[in-house]
Amino acid sequence: MIIGPADRSLVVVRREGNRWLKTPLAGPLGLDLSVGWPGLTLDRAGLPVVAYTRWHSRSLTSQLILAKIDVRGTPHTQRVTAGGWPKSYTPPPAAPVIVRNGSVHVVETYGVGGAVGTLEWIPRSHTWIGLFLSAGRGGFPIGPMFAVPGRGTIVYAAWTEEFPGSLYGGFPVTLATHGREITENVVSERGVTTGLAMTSHGPELAANEWVAADNFSFSFPAPDAVWAGTVTGGGGSELDGRLAGLAAVPHSGAQDLLLSRPDGLWWFRSRSLPVHVGLTAEPRDDGTVALTGRVQGAHGGHVTVYREHAKTRRETVGTVKPGAGGAFALVDSPRARPIFYRAVYVDPATGIPYAKLLRDPVE
């Protein structure tokens, strides 16, 4: 999917044989209209199914649209919502999900007037029924919405919303489950959701968490933010860089990871993320900082510890080989503070860069 300039158009591009098919879905829209974050899935025939919203910046009204693209590249659209509901301070993101009986549900989230809500839209005869997965006080959604089917009739959904004045940093990442009951859990107190995949370990959620010297800054992101890509769930871990995407590989039990690092964009495929890096920093009276940690699941390789900076290149403190049980230690003499430290272990077998970014700066 390609969102055009100023979020005023939406195009789906797919490859068929030796050629590419382009299917326009929206736009170019007027100055007061824009497209919300769209969601994409494939039906049982491998054809695209897209959900997106049209949002009016003046009235804050929205319209949720579901588009199914046939083999000729022709879209067949239907309106899920009408009458401009729900209103939202930002364009509501949406995602389609195909459940066990083959029908398409759509999940969207919105925020307006100090209230936020996330709904799963379910087709009924010639209309749609909205079921709240989450609702409460808050601000507005940030970033995309993700939804995947689980076992049986279970649907999982994940998203990020801004909560002004929250004690948890203002940007919780939520995972909702709709099975026999509806539950929701905050899996990150401050992050941006970038992927959701159903794996053999259960649902795994990708989010980019950030830390800043001013932990009470509610700007998005904070001007001095340092990022950490995290995958939560039974087979998750923290990685070095920002996660651009997470997807399950059909019929393989593996998952694809798209990771943005200082040296470029990297693509990894793995059945699990079995390595976990731990790190602690202890300031000493002589001005040095003792850095200790452990790499669980390490097999050879080295650990590199960095001083992290938001606006300049990070600095290497040192590189060591993990000892017994994966333990490592270094001593740093930083020239300035506050400072964040990150330990990175690159798995020699897979090349995956596992990491631990300290969430609190060393003052």
List the CATH number of the domain containing 92.
2.120.10.10
Beta pairing partners, 134: 118
Give me the mean pLDDT over the 88-117 stretch. 95
The one-letter amino acid at 318: G
Question: Which of these three, 244, 270, 296, is where a domain ends?
Answer: 270
Residue 220, pLDDT score:
58
The verdict on residue 169 lying in a domain is yes
pLDDT in tens, 129-182: 999 999 988 889 999 999 999 988 899 999 999 886 655 457 889 999 999 999
Q: Is the pLDDT of residue 213 over 70?
A: no
**Distances 111 to 3, 57, 130, 221, 233 between C-alpha atoms, Å:** 22, 14, 16, 19, 27
**Are both 29 and 145 inside the same structural domain?**
yes
**Are both 264 and 318 inside the same structural domain?**
no
The verdict on residue 292 lying in a domain is yes
Average pLDDT, the chain: 91
Give me the mean pLDDT over the 96-107 stretch. 95
Answer for the pair 216, 333: CB distance below 8 angstroms, yes or no: no
Distance CA 313, CA 214 (A): 20
The verdict on residue 362 lying in a domain is no
Domain count, the chain: 2
Distance CA 109, CA 91 (A): 9
pLDDT in tens, 287-333: 999 999 999 998 899 999 999 987 778 999 999 999 999 999 999 99
**Are both 330 and 224 inside the same structural domain?**
no
Distance CA 349, CA 67 (A): 42
**Are both 68 and 137 inside the same structural domain?**
yes
The CATH code of the domain that includes 305 is 2.60.40.10
Confidence of residue 106 (pLDDT cuts 50, 70, 90): very high
**Are both 31 and 57 inside the same structural domain?**
yes
Residue 63, pLDDT score:
97
Provide the percentage of residues in the chain whose pLDDT is more than 90: 72
**Are both 88 and 102 inside the same structural domain?**
yes
**Are both 236 and 89 inside the same structural domain?**
yes
**Are both 95 and 234 inside the same structural domain?**
yes
The verdict on residue 239 lying in a domain is yes
Q: In terms of residue numbers, what domain contains 18?
A: 2-270
Distance CA 105, CA 98 (A): 6
The verdict on residue 62 lying in a domain is yes
Residue 210, pLDDT score:
85
